[in-house]
Amino acid sequence: MSRMTPRARLEARLIAEGKLLPRDAAPAPLKGKDRLFALGRLKTGEKNKTEQRYEDEVLRVGIMTGGVLWYRFEGVKLRIADSTFLTVDYAVLPTDGILTMVDVKGGHAVIQDDARVKMKVAAEAYPFRFQFAYPESGGWTHEDVGR
């Protein structure tokens, strides 16, 4: 019979009581509001479904119709303070020539205060247009931020 360390005994007891998942167990899927606000779910450069939908419905259509000259997903990282950065979802160059930083959200109510603050600080510091974009009643709403 092998001897268990105190830590191993504690882990075994917590697993038996259902208070701790085994190390090799998959985490339970997030539900409800927790799923909306999950951070770090995707790797850098991976789009979520809403971001992909925005690209398909707005940006690619804009390229085809001539309203958008260029766009890049997570192509611009802005320093807004010491050790504080903002990476917007899309940098977009429309035909009016004003580089626009677009952050795609799941809805107006989903935009958290920290996201608003970062966008406002960036809008004061950089000569770009800043917008939130979110799906609303079959289309997309763009909300200008700052200035």
The pLDDT tens digits of the residues spanning 79-123 come to 999 989 999 999 999 999 999 999 999 877 667 788 889 999 999
Contact 123, 99 (CB under 8 A): no
The pLDDT tens digits of the residues spanning 17-59 come to 776 777 766 666 666 656 555 555 567 778 899 999 999 999 9
What is the C-alpha to C-alpha distance for residues 93 and 88, in angstroms, rounded to an integer?
Answer: 14
Q: Which domains does the chain have, with CATH numbers?
A: 6-35 (no CATH), 42-145 (3.40.1350.10)
What is the C-alpha to C-alpha distance for residues 117 and 40, in angstroms, rounded to an integer?
Answer: 20
Model pTM? 0.69
pLDDT bin (cut points 50, 70, 90) of residue 137 is confident
